[in-house]
Amino acid sequence: MLIFLNSNRKWFVFLFFLSFFLLGIFITPDYGVSIDEDNTRIVGFLTLESIFKIFSPEHLVQVNEIIAEQKSEHPNLDIVPTSGVTFDLPMAFLELIFNIEDSRNYFLLRHYFNFLFFFTSVYFFYLLANKRYNSWMIGIFGALFLIITPRIFANGFYNSKDIIFMSLSIINLYLAINF
């Protein structure tokens, strides 16, 4: 059995990550919106507004309309940047480029990209464990344990602060060790 697994290691790893990717893509719409997702979305647009004031004033009208609409829908919205805009700024920009106006669609866009970050970090975690223990099976088990941790798995779809930070930390750790 071990000889079979080792001889087909690349296919096994490929199928593992393909299954995880397809599972994530299919269940992403099942996750709801977190309590602070409106706030992080508007912070992305406020940052985009600051950038457009300098580099592209002709697009300010569209960004200001989105900000005004968000403020009118949520008058008690606390618009204080509580975290960085590493994720929120590109999402606001993509929402503007693709002209997404439906709230379901812009939250789905954010959730899909959040999952892609998480998926990428799980792959880098596999590479990290594989390199550390010199065993692809331990790498797969490490990635599996990261995936089956319920809190991390669920947050991998909608938490644009902690999971993005964790993902970037894993990727940076792998790159630092290789360096």
Return the percentage of the chain with pLDDT > 70, whole number.
92
- Residues 116 and 141 placed together within one structural domain of the fold: yes
**How far is the C-alpha of 63 from the C-alpha of 49, rounded, in Å?**
6
List the single range of 47-56, 57-66, 111-120 with lowest mean pLDDT. Answer: 57-66
Do 169 and 134 share a structural domain? yes
Alpha helix segments (H runs only) across 28-83: 37-55, 60-73
Q: How many CA atoms lie within 13 A of 18 on its CB side?
A: 6
d(CA 63, CA 172): 33
Domain boundary among 76, 102, 128: 102
* Residues 47 and 78 placed together within one structural domain of the fold: yes
For residue 177, CA distances in Å to 10, 104, 170 come to 23, 40, 11
Three-class SS state of 76? coil
Domain extent at residue 174: 8-32+111-178
How would residue 170 be classed by pLDDT, with cut points 50, 70 and 90?
A: very high
Are residues 115 and 80 part of one domain?
Answer: no
**Distance separating alpha carbons of residues 18 and 81, to the nearest angstrom:** 36
Residue 2 lies in a domain: no
Whether residue 48 is found in the same domain as residue 70: yes
Per-residue confidence band for 4, with pLDDT thresholds at 50, 70 and 90 = low
- pTM (2 decimals)? 0.89
CB 163 within 8 A of CB 114: yes
CA separation for the pair 110, 91 (Å, rounded): 6
Residues 162 and 131 in one domain: yes
Ramachandran angles phi, psi of 98, nearest 5°: -85, 0
Q: At what angle do helices 9-27 and 103-133 cross, to 10 degrees?
A: 160
| Residues 136, 173 share a domain | yes
Does residue 101 register a pLDDT over 80?
yes
Residue 93 domain-assigned?
yes
Provide the number of structural domains found in the chain. Answer: 2
Last residue of a domain, one of 80, 102, 124: 102
| Residue 50 shares a structural domain with residue 17 | no
Which amino acid is residue 6, in one-letter code? N
Does some domain include residue 89? yes
156 — pLDDT class (breaks 50, 70, 90): very high
Domain boundary among 102, 135, 154: 102
